[in-house]
Amino acid sequence: MKRTQAIELPAEEIERQRGWMREFAALEDRPQTYCVVTYGCQMNAHDSETLEGMLSEMGMTKAESREAADFVIFNTCCVRDNAQRRALGNVVWLKELKKQRPELMVAVCGCMMQQPGMGEQILRQYPFVDLAFGTHNLYRFAQLMLQAVKSRRRVVEVIADDEGSIPEELPVRRSSPYHAYITIMYGCNNFCSYCIVPYVRGRERSRASARIIEEARQLKAEGVREIMLLGQNVNSYGLDVEGELSFAQLLSALDEVGIERIRFMTSHPKDISDELIDVMAASKHICHALHLPVQHGNNRVLRSMNRRYTREKYLERVAAIRAKVPDISLTTDLIVGYPGETEEEFEDTCSLVREVGYDSAFTFIYSPRVGTRAADMPDQIPEDVSSRRIQQLIAIQKEITHARYAAYVGQVHSVLVDEASKRDEHQMAGKNEYNITVNFPGTPELIGQIVRVKITSAGESTLRGETID
């Protein structure tokens, strides 16, 4: 059922939280420096920018390393088991550091904390953690931190998805003056059988388009040259709010703002509309790069995954995109070793990868997530079989990537310069319009500019070139 308007937190609640930030900053005996350690997706990266914004308003400065910080916070991911284990392993590493520095404060937040029972597990197994909270109460961070510092007691607060209220006007400390994330929606309604995201991020809820467009205008005024629109499924933006813009309409409005580059992720293939393709083709600023996760190439597996499209429908959408945007750079996500996957079904994924010809792909071995339907399925694939399959798939995609990148040689690309090489300050690196890293000779004065680069050679995952006038 559609809502009539986005559920925003009341402005007075945000001001109350900023009051806690000011009160924390006034404390004499408090941490002075911080380090935010981020795992997972771009949504988590943007959440960390919000955490850093709040920490800055709380009077704290960023430390050079986690070892040098008075306060370390882990913003965690739980989409795959190895990400969760890596996060917990690093948290445990701080246990020894805290023995040497008892005043060190440690916090854990993010998707991992939102899983059922994780708060109790943190209390029981990690007594050196001072503060823990989930995704739905990130906006309360300053209040919780103040409580932990003043009481000298551990604070754990993980709340259920209460219809997913949307906080606005929180401070943000962006990682780049030229790139910026804009979250356009939260949560996911798709409930793919292998995915924990709907359980830890909640149901879909769209920010008001007026808020998003105004944020883009402000970013343009501040000199931002590229924005990345974020959502678990950006294509379903606005469907939960009566009278709201569609995602294609939102993109058209943002295109008119005039920021030089617009990117977005992630797109669910079932929701790629002709309207969206037409907007991409006609736009002045939307980059011709699309991340379109297919996950698998076999229809039985896709049904079991609850992806709600077939191989044939996916390929039809790819053809429709390439017909309107011939130079589109397509990337994808792929899962091998899904429960019950046969050799023939795995070969269907390999053949689809060859047929589409992705510029690159993120490949994953299926990872059971407690609480998802796939975790309880029979015929879990042995690790050695999954490992062999993923190596085979990586080799196929590596060959395709090499051919795709070689085809760019001789072309002139627009590159937003990100940084100088750590080894040679006269070698610059940046992303082209296809979201591929390009290395070329230059000087640090170019950082933050968009320059024209002629591609001269292709590596395994990057391109090389030289600037032209």
Structure-token match 């039985």, residue found: 300
Mean pLDDT computed over every residue of the chain: 93
Q: Between 1.10.1060.10, 3.90.470.20, 3.30.750.210, 3.40.220.10, what CATH number should domain 176-287 receive? A: 3.30.750.210
For 247, the token pair is 């995602």
| pLDDT for 91 | 80
CA separation for the pair 284, 373 (Å, rounded): 42
Residue 413: pLDDT over 90: yes
Residues of the chain with pLDDT > 90, as a percent, come to: 79
**CATH topology classification for 319-407:** Transcription Regulator spoIIAA (3.30.750)
CATH 3.30.750.200 in the chain is located at 319-407
| pLDDT for 171 | 93
| Alpha helices, H only, 36-161 | 42-57, 81-100, 118-125, 141-151
CATH 2.40.50.140 in the chain is located at 412-467
User: Which sign does the torsion angle of CA 330, 335, 340, 342 carry?
Assistant: positive
Q: The whole model's pTM is what?
A: 0.93
Q: Between 3.40.50.12160, 3.40.190.10, 3.20.20.10, 3.40.190.150, what CATH number should domain 11-157 receive? A: 3.40.50.12160
Is the Cβ–Cβ distance between 224 and 258 less than 8 Å?
no
For 380, the token pair is 């879990």
Domain spanning 412-467: CATH 2.40.50.140:
yes
CA separation for the pair 245, 132 (Å, rounded): 36
CA separation for the pair 264, 210 (Å, rounded): 18
Those residues with Cβ within 8 angstroms of residue 393's Cβ, 6 or more apart along the chain or in another chain: 334, 336, 349, 350, 353, 363
**289 CB neighbour count, 10 Å cutoff:** 23
Residue 399: pLDDT over 60: yes
| pLDDT for 3 | 56
pLDDT band of 163, cuts 50, 70, 90: low
For 143, the token pair is 């209040």
Average pLDDT of the residues in 252-272: 96
pLDDT band of 4, cuts 50, 70, 90: very low
| pLDDT for 115 | 86
Rounded alpha-carbon distances, angstroms, from residue 123 to 36, 92, 129, 152, 361: 21, 13, 8, 15, 38
CA separation for the pair 351, 392 (Å, rounded): 12
CA separation for the pair 469, 453 (Å, rounded): 9
The three-point CA angle 290-294-298 to 5° equals: 155
Return the amino acid letter for 304.
S
pLDDT band of 400, cuts 50, 70, 90: very high
pLDDT band of 161, cuts 50, 70, 90: low
| pLDDT for 1 | 47
Residue 6: pLDDT over 60: no
Average pLDDT of the residues in 268-277: 96
Rounded alpha-carbon distances, angstroms, from residue 395 to 344, 360, 369, 458: 18, 12, 27, 17
Average pLDDT of the residues in 313-330: 98
Q: Which of 455, 443, 441, 446 is nearest to 416 (CA)?
A: 446
| pLDDT for 125 | 86
| pLDDT for 222 | 96
Q: What is the DSSP letter of 263?
A: E
| pLDDT for 216 | 98
Residue 38: pLDDT over 70: yes
| pLDDT for 94 | 83
User: Which sign does the torsion angle of CA 245, 250, 252, 254 carry?
Assistant: positive
Is the Cβ–Cβ distance between 374 and 338 less than 8 Å?
yes
Q: What is the DSSP letter of 259?
A: -
| pLDDT for 164 | 61
Residue 15: pLDDT over 70: yes
Residue 281: pLDDT over 50: yes
pLDDT in tens, 327-346: 999 999 999 999 999 999 99
| pLDDT for 120 | 84
CATH 3.40.50.12160 in the chain is located at 11-157
Pairwise pLDDT comparison (73 vs 95), residue with the higher score: 73
pLDDT in tens, 98-139: 888 999 999 999 988 888 888 888 888 888 899 999 988 999
| Strands of 337-423, DSSP E | 360-365, 412-420
3-class DSSP state of 395? helix
Pairwise pLDDT comparison (84 vs 248), residue with the higher score: 248
Structure-token match 């969760």, residue found: 84
281 φ, ψ to 5°? -65, -35
Angle at which helices 141-151 and 42-57 cross, to 10°: 50
CATH 3.30.750.210 in the chain is located at 176-287
